[in-house]
Structure 1
């Protein structure tokens, strides 16, 4: 399958999976000291696994809730990125799917089910946003807009509060608590950069494809951090995040 084919399968699977959320009964269970999992997360991931592996026979899936198997064609799935927002009814969460071939990400899509916005890109397929709601063409601001969830509760790192304080002196800051959605917004030009710690591959896989396809950069930092976006603020964030994780 070509990257375009993989993107089409990922996008259709995300759209179909979002239909489950309209009638889902949401039961919530704790997952660690600071995280949660809902019945909707599990139902969406099961659906995506079936849809993706049926559409691409022989492919394997790395998912947040149901484990990982890795092969030549691997899907990275986050059924609901931003579960803590989702279970409270806050419209700041998304479904995220990326395709990797032999370890290289070639396609990604992020679906915001609340706004019915689909962000897509693949090798040979430019970044695009399909939206049925109100959209505003991003304007230019004298200060960069940065999305970050730092500092995180229970973080093993020191210096996060200091980073946030320094960041507030040079940028406008928003806390989203959905890394994949934040990356999609950066790709769409709604923010200049996003940086987080404590992330997993399924949190960033699709968003990284989107940001790079839209002309931005994505940089891993340490084992569980990243910075992505455009402009000088990316280098500023990367330097400070590397100092924290080291």
Structure 2
């Protein structure tokens, strides 16, 4: 698929269409790929599926938008006026254990500004998309329950993380449990997509990289939520008072 040029330029909608189709095509690889796992650092993992999906996405995105560059989790980074942020399998630790909580995440930035993002949950066949000028949407072929409400805010977070350099995370979790319902998803991009869809009130994490959050940031902002960077590797995203509550406490941990 090639993006369409309008008056000599590519629109965010064009980039979104390319990203979404590339994610859908990449997900087909997961039906046949052999999943071999290797350690990546002390606490993380990488699978052959991560590498194969990222290689496919790189080829599809750069061929569809000639001259663009990719910042990816597994195969290196480069920059260009149009830059893609690619997480081939966000939630690898879930994926390699057969737990259906992972996703493919792709975002596009133009001159350093995020303009389009999509997150594909291949297990539920749900595609979350948004771009500048293109509203947030969810395409799902499965059972979808309209999000309801609960007496306490629902927060998605993986804090505390194993091997984290920050102290105070256990206390944060204890304080958070006193005011909110908490779920650990271990897929930051999927958590952000669910916040955008109204399934949770907020998400927060530390130790993240640009490819973890780029697409999710686009989705949350497009759905009317806030995305608040915290320190050099943290964020809070969502709606309501719980966002500022979390941001204040995370700032205290990373400062």
Normalised to the residue count of structure 2, the TM-score between the two structures is: 0.96
Query: How far apart are residue 141 of structure 1 and its match?
Result: 1.1
**Aligned counterpart for 2:55 among listed residues 46, 55, 74:** 46
Cα deviation digits, residues 88-131 of structure 1 (max 9, x gap):
00000000000000000000000000000000000000000000
SS at match of 1:130: strand
Partner of 2:4: none
Cα deviation digits, residues 132-179 of structure 1 (max 9, x gap):
011000111110000000000000000000000000000000000000
Query: How far apart are residue 34 of structure 1 and its match?
Result: 0.3
In 1, Cα distance between equivalents of 2:143 and 2:157: 24
In 1, Cα distance between equivalents of 2:129 and 2:32: 25
Instruction: Name stretches of at least 5 consecutive residues in structure 2 with no aligned partner.
Output: 1-9
Partner of 2:156: 147
In 2, Cα distance between equivalents of 1:227 and 1:67: 26
Moved over 6 A (4+): none
Does residue 219 of the first structure (1) align with residue 209 of the second (2)? Answer: no
In 2, Cα distance between equivalents of 1:71 and 1:13: 19
Does residue 245 of the first structure (1) align with residue 225 of the second (2)? Answer: no
Cα deviation digits, residues 48-88 of structure 1 (max 9, x gap):
00000000000000000000001100000000000000000
Instruction: Note the aligned Cα RMSD (angstroms).
Output: 0.3
Partner of 1:85: 94
In 1, Cα distance between equivalents of 2:92 and 2:120: 14
Does residue 135 of the first structure (1) align with residue 105 of the second (2)? Answer: no
Normalised to the residue count of structure 1, the TM-score between the two structures is: 1.00
SS at match of 1:80: strand
SS at match of 2:146: coil
Kindly tell me the number of residue pairs found equivalent between the two proteins: 246
Instruction: Name stretches of at least 5 consecutive residues in structure 1 with no aligned partner.
Output: none
Does residue 198 of the first structure (1) align with residue 207 of the second (2)? Answer: yes
In 1, Cα distance between equivalents of 2:150 and 2:47: 38
Structure 1 residues 19-30: aligned runs within 5 Å: 19-30=28-39
Partner of 1:31: 40
